[in-house]
C-alpha cells in the first residue's frame, strides 16, 4: 500500500455507521508510550531519534497486524503529503514540523495510525465510526499488547506509563469522541454545554483537535487527565458524559422540528442547493453547508443523500486532498473551483 492509495478510499471512521452515528461521527483512543532508558523526543539528539525509529520499525515488522501497514518517514514527504495526512486525522500538525527522525505507521483501513517521535516515542491511535469507545479500546489494547512483546516501555508501578507531558502519565490514554451538535448551536445552548464539560475536566476542541476551533458544528470531547484512573474508568466517564450530550442534542433537534420546521427545512434545502450548484466555494462555507445537509439527512428531511458521502466530503474538500486529486499544487482560486466541482460530482449537482 502506498500513500497515494489513500485518496481512493474513505477511512473507517467516516463510514457513518455504528451506535448513535447520527450525532457521533467517530470514536478515538490514543495511547502514549516511550521506550525505556531513552530520552523523550524533545530531549533527543538526531541519532537517538533515528535509533528509536529503527527499533520501532523492526518491532512492527515482526507483528502480523502490521504486515500490510505503511511506514512513512516524515522527512521524505512533501508539504502537500504531510498536510494530507493531517487532514485525514492520521497525524498531528506538530508531527509534520521538524520532521527529521519522525515516522507514521498507517493500517490499510486507517483504523490505526502510530506517530513515531512526536511528543512521545509512540502515539498510538485507533479510530472507529460512531459512538464506539469500547470496541476502539479492545483494538488498541490488543495492538499495545503486541507492541509490548517487542518493545520495553517506560513504566513505574506507582506512576504508570511515563510520558513527556506529566498530565498524560498513568494510563497515558486519551479517549475522544467527535460530535455533530448543530441543534445545540442553533438553539444557543452550546456554550452552557461546553462550560459544563470544562467543569468536569474534559477538553473540547474543534474538528482538527488541539488548537482548533469548532467548525461545521463539530466538537471533539476528550478526557484531560489519565493518572489515578484505569482505562475502563476513563471510558466509562467519557461514555456517561457523551450520552448526556447526545440526549441534549436529540431534544434540541426535536424542538427545532416541532417549533421551527419551515425555517429548518429552508436552511437545509438551501444548503444542499448551493452545494449542488456552486462553481466556486471556500472550505469554510462548504463545511457550514455540509453540516446543515448532514443534519437534514439525520432528521429525515433529505432522503437521497447518504451520511457517509457527506462525511467523506468533509475530508475531500480540504486543500491537500484537492491537490492530491489533481496531482498538482493549486492556488486558492483553483482550489475553490475544484472544491465546487468535487461536491457537484459527489452530490449529483
Quickly list DSSP for 2-26.
-GGGGGGS--GGGS--STTTTTEEE
117: helix, coil or strand?
Answer: coil
Instruction: Using a cut of 0.95, tell me whether the model's pTM lies above it.
Output: no
| Cα gap 74→2, rounded to integer Å | 14
Percentage of the chain lying above the pLDDT 90 cut: 85
**Final residue of a domain: which of 233, 253, 273?**
253
Q: Above 90 in pLDDT, residue 225?
A: no
Distances (CA, A) of 131 to 21, 93, 182, 341: 7, 25, 17, 32
What's the CA gap between 102 and 136, in Å, rounded?
25
292, 267 contact by CB (below 8 A): yes
Number of separate domains in the chain = 2
- Indicate whether 164 and 265 sit together in one domain: no
Q: What is the CATH number of the domain that holds 231?
A: 3.30.590.10
Q: Is the domain of 80 the same as that of 157? A: yes
CA–CA distance, 341 with 318 (Å, rounded to integer): 13
Is there a single domain that holds both residue 110 and residue 202?
yes
Q: Distances from the Cα of 11 to the Cαs of 45, 49, 92, 281, in angstroms?
A: 35, 29, 16, 24
Report H helices in 62-132.
Answer: 79-87, 93-96
76-134 per-position pLDDT tens digit:
999 999 999 999 999 999 999 989 999 999 999 999 999 999 999 999 999 999 999 99
Same domain, 202 and 309: no
Domain that holds residue 36: 3-253
Q: What's the pLDDT band for 349 if we cut at 50, 70, 90?
A: low
Query: Residues of 312-342 as b/e, b for ≥16 C-beta within 10 angstroms?
Result: bbbbbbbbbbbbbbeeeebeeeebbbbbbbb
Q: What is the pLDDT of residue 21?
A: 96
**Residue 169 and residue 311 in one domain:** no
b/e per residue 101-123 (b: at least 16 CB within 10 A): bbbbbbbeebbbbbbbbbbbbbb
User: In this predicted structure, what is the pLDDT of residue 94?
Assistant: 93
Whether 341 and 314 map to the same domain: the answer is yes
Cβ neighbours for 277, distance < 8 A, ≥ 6 positions apart: 344, 349
Amino acid at each position: 500500500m502506498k500513500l497515494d492509495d489513500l485518496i481512493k478510499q474513505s477511512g473507517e471512521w467516516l463510514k457513518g455507521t455504528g451506535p448513535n452515528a447520527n450525532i457521533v461521527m467517530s470514536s478515538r483512543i490514543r495511547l502514549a508510550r516511550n521506550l525505556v532508558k531513552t530520552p523523550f523526543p524533545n530531549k533527543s539528539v538526531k541519532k537517538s531519534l533515528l535509533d528509536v525509529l529503527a527499533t520501532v520499525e523492526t518491532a512492527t515488522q515482526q507483528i502480523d497486524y502490521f504486515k500490510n501497514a505503511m511506514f512513512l518517514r516524515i522527512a521524505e514527504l512533501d508539504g502537500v503529503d504531510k498536510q494530507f495526512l493531517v487532514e485525514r486525522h492520521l497525524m498531528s500538525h506538530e508531527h509534520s514540523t521538524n520532521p527529521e527522525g519522525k515516522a507514521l505507521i498507517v493500517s490499510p483501513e486507517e483504523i490505526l495510525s502510530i506517530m513515531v517521535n512526536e511528543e512521545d516515542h509512540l502515539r498510538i491511535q485507533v479510530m472507529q465510526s460512531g459512538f464506539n469507545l469500547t470496541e476502539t479500546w479492545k483494538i488498541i489494547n490488543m495492538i499495545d499488547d503486541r507492541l509490548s512483546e517487542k518493545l520495553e516501555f517506560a513504566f513505574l508501578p506507582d506512576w504508570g506509563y511515563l510520558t513527556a507531558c506529566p498530565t498524560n502519565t498513568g494510563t497515558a490514554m486519551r479517549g475522544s469522541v467527535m460530535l455533530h451538535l448543530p441543534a445545540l448551536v442553533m438553539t444557543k445552548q452550546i456554550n452552557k454545554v461546553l462550560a459544563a464539560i470544562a467543569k468536569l475536566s474534559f477538553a473540547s476542541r474543534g474538528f482538527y483537535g488541539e488548537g482548533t476551533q469548532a467548525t461545521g458544528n463539530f466538537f471533539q470531547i476528550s478526557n484531560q487527565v489519565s493518572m489515578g484512573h484505569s482505562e475502563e474508568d476513563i471510558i466509562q466517564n467519557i461514555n456517561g458524559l457523551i450520552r448526556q450530550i447526545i440526549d441534549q442534542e436529540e431534544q434540541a433537534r426535536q424542538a427545532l422540528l416541532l417549533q421551527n420546521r419551515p425555517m429548518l427545512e429552508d436552511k437545509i434545502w438551501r444548503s444542499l442547493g448551493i452545494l449542488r450548484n456552486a462553481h466556486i466555494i471556500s472550505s469554510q462555507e462548504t463545511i457550514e453547508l455540509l453540516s446543515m445537509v448532514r443534519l437534514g439527512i439525520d432528521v429525515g428531511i433529505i432522503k437521497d443523500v447518504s451520511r457517509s458521502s457527506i462525511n467523506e466530503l468533509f475530508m475531500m474538500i480540504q486543500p491537500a486532498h484537492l491537490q492530491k486529486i489533481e496531482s498538482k499544487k493549486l492556488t486558492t482560486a483553483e482550489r475553490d473551483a475544484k472544491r465546487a466541482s468535487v461536491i457537484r460530482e459527489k452530490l449529483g449537482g
